[in-house]
Structure formats: C-alpha cells, structure tokens
Amino acid sequence: MKLKFAGKILPFIAVACLSGCMSTGPHLKSSISEGVAGLEARLPYAEYVNYFGYVDSNMKSQGKYKDKDAYYLYAWVPAAIDEIGISMISPAFSAPSDDDFVDQNFEKNGIDDKFFDTYIVLERMNIIDNTKIAQGGRPIQTLGENDDSAELPKNPGGSSYNSLLRKTSSLTNPQDALVRGVYRITFTSFRGDVEGSYEATIGTNVPGVKIAASLAELDALVNAAN
C-alpha cells in the first residue's frame, strides 16, 4: 500500500477561508454552529485529513459487520480532542492532493463509474501508545455509526447514501473521552457490494492525525521519524 502525507497546520480562520479549496472539508463540518445573516451554519474543523481508496472485486474483505463484508481504516490521533468528525463519499468526490493519503489501488483505478452506498462505524482501539501500534490491538468500544447523511453530496444515483458521523468528547464520562490513541473506521454497505472508489475524511482540532489501511502501515507512518 502506497501512502502520501504532508502535515498542515492552519489557524482556524484560515481553514474557514480556505475550506472551498479542500477536497471534502467543505462538506464535513463540526457540530458547532454559528449564526450568519440570520442562518445557522456549521463551522469547519481546524484540521482535515483525507484518505482515497478503491475496493475492487478481487479484494478480500477484512472482516464482517452485521453479516456484511467489511473493510478497515486505522487512524492515529496524537492528542486528546474535543470532537472527531468522519465522512465517507463514494465515488471519491475529487482528485487527491499532495497532502492526502492515497492507496495504491486508488492510484491504479482512480475515480470511475463504480461506487457503493457507504456505512461507517467509529471504534476505539486498545492502543494509546504509538510505540505499541506494531504489536496490534483490538476494538474495545463503538463510538458511533452512520448510514446516510443529507449533509454530503448525493451519489451518482441521486441518493443521499454517503455517510457522516460526529463524536464529541466528555469531561465527565471516561467512556466518552476522546483521548490520544488509535481509532478504527469500519466501512461496509447494506445496499449491495462494496466496490468502487471512496474518499474518507477525518476532521479534528489537532494536527498530526494519520490514516492507513492496516496497523503495520499506520505504525510506519506514525513512527517513521523515530
């Protein structure tokens, strides 16, 4: 799997002004809203990272979710966060930039006429130490899931079947605290097979989030400089 990433640290205002230049950022917004000209508008996250992937018919599923073939993405969050937002659009909404994570299968197939109706699940894993990523781990808590979201662009069939979820941290309940560590994004489809390109986006308030399709790849990304 080939991955690309270049970190970006932008002030919140700059992100808001530049959000129109980002691939999925304008669609994935935070839970915080602000009144603008008498209308309530959701504010963007301070940081976005994108992952472009492609699932073809030759790819073996990585697991099962509710008896459906499922695939995984793994994200490293380097510090405690107040909220995380995740979206998945299929087919991919735009071409990746040099700042995005891109897998080899996407580079081979690109964006074509194949797409799937996305369903995403966010899970907390039992890995909080970056030096332990290579040792593997397991999901210990489901933090959220989503099937359809009207906030995202419709798919080529004209349906709002792309997925978006948000999870806010809790200061009073440790089970709902979004701490440093590894999180897993499980994705599948309940309307047909998973096949085609997709664009997954994570929004947070901290730089340094990294995404990979396996823990081995994530370990290489996170600990490459160590």
Q: Are strands 68-77 and 181-188 parallel, antiparallel or unpaired?
A: antiparallel
Q: DSSP string spanning 175-199?
A: GG---SEEEEEEEE-SSS---EEEE
Residue-level pLDDT at 152: 93
User: Chain centroid to CA 98: how far?
Assistant: 17
Q: What is the pLDDT of residue 14?
A: 33
pLDDT at 40: 73
**Residue-level pLDDT at 173:** 86
Query: In this predicted model, what pLDDT tens digit does every residue of 60-101 receive, in sequence order?
Result: 999 999 999 999 999 999 999 999 999 999 999 989 999 999
- Exposure b/e, 41-56, CB count within 10 A at least 16 = b: eebbbbbbbbbbbbbe
Task: Note the pLDDT of residue 5.
Answer: 37
Looking at residue 225, its pLDDT comes to 57
User: What pLDDT is recorded for position 146?
Assistant: 95
Q: pTM of the predicted model, to two decimals?
A: 0.85
Cβ-contact 42, 33 below 8 angstroms: yes
Could you name the CATH architecture of 12-223? Sandwich (2.60)
Residues of the chain with pLDDT under 50: 1-25
pLDDT at 41: 78
pLDDT at position 58 is: 87
Q: What is the pLDDT of residue 156?
A: 94
Record the tokens describing residue 147, joined without a space.
């099937």
